[in-house]
Chains A and B, each alone.
Chain A
């Protein structure tokens, strides 16, 4: 078990270092990163000054060292737009996203697991077909558009839900639905197909022969095993949520780190963007690591099987 954890920690660190290299290289591949930092009316003197201040007049390997040293110390440069350390801006916004993303995850699980189970049990019935259509539509609908449509219907036409910014509980409804739509579609399909597979297995047949009730067979024997693929794909789902949060927060003017990412792109705020990406990467890797370790703890096959 310790060996497994150690290996996964090392892997995560390697991914982070590679990412840091990519960020470092991309800033330099198209010219001098100083040009990304300077406003358009900066003079040549400003540029020289900035070059020296940032150490960009030194050889490349020294620059890399400076960048990595800063990153380790939590110094990722100043945001151009906010004129504050980029890391600080990120952590100011993080709590707002941390209320949204877990809610969307819980919502997706609560909706998609029962629906997927029902669709599998009543295969071919009306409910199966309705769930199937929702899944197909959910995957084909761009979430930014879904958000706009929801705003149009519920905020503008019906006037029952707020369309933007944070506030009371009602402010959460539309963003949570938008953010989790894609996930609901994907999870529902996955639960349905894995329940179908498990329903066909020997141990479910045995449970039935033993005379256990349908409810016990379904919820205890069937669902538990059917959820294994869902847990396995948690990392992929979480990555989807982090991606989705950028779009959702942009549509709903939600002041979280997703919206911050969008602002960094729109205002070409390179230091802010690189900080956002590195910090998000740390969070994603941390969450994946925790889930993997928990999973390996619960299911010994994982820690022995994976290379």
Chain B
């Protein structure tokens, strides 16, 4: 930063710092249950090989369809029972956490990143660029974008790359719209005008002055969308458009167990409950982070 001699370019004040009534950055208000669930889910995903008692893909037909340990006929060897092919449900759940979280996070970063960039361009340049991008945003938001995701799967094949592109397509517009709104606010501030007078290029103003000021919003948006993306990923897996089997993912486990709900309820119920808990936790955590960092987003 030493290359810039003018005081104008010194760290632009964070938006919201001066604005009124920001709720106290209160750790006591942190939703602890949600936070613990998130930490546990992440730890499980990272240390999956150490935690899972069995291989998630190893089949053992003699042990097929064992109920969970607390049900009649269950054993402590398979705490959450086994599936149709005799695979341990707990191990699949643990590895599934890894797959679901990795896929969701990479897809989220890609989609959020695209939305951030387009939102900044749209807000910063205004005029025709803005008109065009916002028109596309509107069209995307009112379109069942999952159809495009399914089309991608059939033409590109199943896999991480396909899901990342598909999710990007589904979520970018939500990011772009809100980031654009923030950029409009930042753009009207004095330090941007002064930077322009000082001769900064558009690219430099966007990178140095605009991006840092929309980062809070962006982080909040990312957190608020983790749950959504996990559900999108699970839905795609459920529809046969997610990560290809036998790699376990939660949505696909629910789908596999669907036909056996009458005889083996745990096959669908357990992974679905895992999805719901984790999504709930991320949503509650995201709400807290929003109230802390960017309360104005409440209206969204």
Q: Is the CB of B150 within 8 A of A26?
A: no
| Interchain nearest-CB distance for A208 vs B (Å) | 25
CB under 8 Å from chain B, chain A span 120-169 = 136-137, 139-145, 148-149, 151-152, 156
Tell me if A's interface is mostly helix, strand, loop or mixed.
helix
Residue in A closest to B298 when the chains form the complex, CB atoms: A193
Residue in A closest to B284 when the chains form the complex, CB atoms: A136
Q: Is the CB of B141 within 8 A of A235?
A: yes
Q: Is the CB of B143 within 8 A of A144?
A: no
A265 within 8 A of B: yes
CB under 8 Å from chain A, chain B span 144-168 = 144-148, 150-157
* Residue of A148, A266, A277 touching B240 (CB-CB under 8 A): A266
Q: Which B residues lie within 8 Å of A247 (CB)?
A: 235, 238-239
- Once A11-B135, A262-B239 are accepted as A-B contacts, the answer to whether A273 and B144 lie under 8 Å apart by CB is no
* Residue of B143, B227, B257 touching A140 (CB-CB under 8 A): B227
Q: Which B residues lie within 8 Å of A15 (CB)?
A: 139, 143
A42 within 8 A of B: no
CB under 8 Å from chain B, chain A span 244-294 = 246-247, 250-251, 261-262, 264-266, 268, 270, 273-274, 276-277, 280-281, 284, 288
Q: Is the CB of B144 within 8 A of A140?
A: no
Q: Is the CB of A265 within 8 A of B272?
A: no
Q: How far is the CA of A288 from the CA of B147 in the complex (A)?
A: 17
Q: Which A residues lie within 8 Å of B141 (CB)?
A: 235-236, 239
A307 within 8 A of B: yes
| Interchain nearest-CB distance for A215 vs B (Å) | 28
CB under 8 Å from chain A, chain B span 265-294 = 265, 268-269, 272, 275-276, 279-280, 283-284
Q: How far is the CA of A140 from the CA of B276 in the complex (A)?
A: 5
Encode contact with B along A1-45: 1 for CB under 8 Å, 0 otherwise.
000000000010001000000110011011000001000000000
Number of interface residues of B (CB under 8 A): 46
Q: Is the CB of B139 within 8 A of A145?
A: no
Q: Which B residues lie within 8 Å of A243 (CB)?
A: 144-147
Encode contact with A along B150-192: 1 for CB under 8 Å, 0 otherwise.
1111111100000000000000000000000000000000000
Besides the contacts A193-B299, A265-B240, A284-B142, what 13 more A-B pairs have beta carbons closer than 8 Å?
Answer: A11-B139, A136-B280, A137-B280, A140-B283, A144-B235, A152-B265, A152-B268, A235-B141, A239-B145, A247-B235, A261-B150, A280-B144, A281-B147
Which chain A residues have a beta carbon within 8 Å of chain B's beta carbons?
11, 15, 22-23, 26-27, 29-30, 36, 136-137, 139-145, 148-149, 151-152, 156, 193, 235-236, 238-240, 242-243, 246-247, 250-251, 261-262, 264-266, 268, 270, 273-274, 276-277, 280-281, 284, 288, 307
Which chain B residues have a beta carbon within 8 Å of chain A's beta carbons?
131, 134-135, 139, 141-148, 150-157, 227, 231, 234-235, 238-241, 251, 254-255, 257-258, 261-262, 265, 268-269, 272, 275-276, 279-280, 283-284, 299
